Amino acid sequence: MSTILTVATPRSSAIRRAFHPDHAPIVAYPPGMEALAERLSHLDSQAEGPLRVVMFYDTLMRRRVDLPALARASAGLAECVAGIRLHGTGRTIRVGPDGRPAPAPPSPASTTVPIALDQEEIGTVWLERPGPPGRLDDLLLDRLAIAAAAVVERYGPARTTMADPGLVELVISADSD
């Protein structure tokens, strides 16, 4: 299936605030998805915004971005500070909507979502939006959490180490045969 390289510019006011016209991200969408988004915008203007958020994160995941790039893209989309914190490493990434590290001290998170990998909470994502949460903030954070879990699974340390008792037992039992 061929893909078309397009500039993702919003067609509905629901997500217009999430894109800067002169900084619209270049996104590769399959032609069918772009056509579906177009048809949905004609049927229901409220459906286009969520679909474009999902397509945005699907594209980031296909491009195999790392956590800092994921935070930068999310902050730009939400037009506020976006953060990612991993519990195991204590690593925290906070990025402003301009793509630069957010200034300290952090503002209170307006919305948070846990990052889960194999039904285990491994971190948190959040937005630091002044004022009330945006209409698509919950969806944006859900997709950010899914993408962050995929990045950790792909690039993070192996979940099984040589200190795993199951591996030690396997090695010992293999020697006894």
Range of the domain at 25: 1-63
Residue pair 95/72 in contact by the 8 Å Cβ criterion: yes
Q: Phi first, then psi: what are they for 151, rounded to 5°? A: -65, -45
- Confidence (pTM): 0.67
Return per-residue pLDDT of the chain as tens, 177 residues. Answer: 333 333 343 333 333 334 433 334 444 555 666 666 666 666 656 667 787 888 889 889 889 999 999 999 999 999 999 999 999 888 999 999 999 999 988 888 888 999 999 889 999 999 999 989 988 999 999 999 999 999 999 887 545 444 556 666 666 666 555
| CATH number of 88's domain | 3.30.450.40
| Residues 15 and 51 placed together within one structural domain of the fold | yes
* Angstrom distance (rounded) from CA 96 to CA 100: 6
| Residues 9 and 80 placed together within one structural domain of the fold | no
State which of 63, 85, 116 marks the end of a domain. Answer: 63
State which of 63, 84, 114 marks the end of a domain. Answer: 63
> What sign for the dihedral angle of Cα 161, 164, 166, 172?
positive
State which of 18, 38, 63 marks the end of a domain. Answer: 63
Work out how many domains the chain is built from and give that number.
Answer: 2
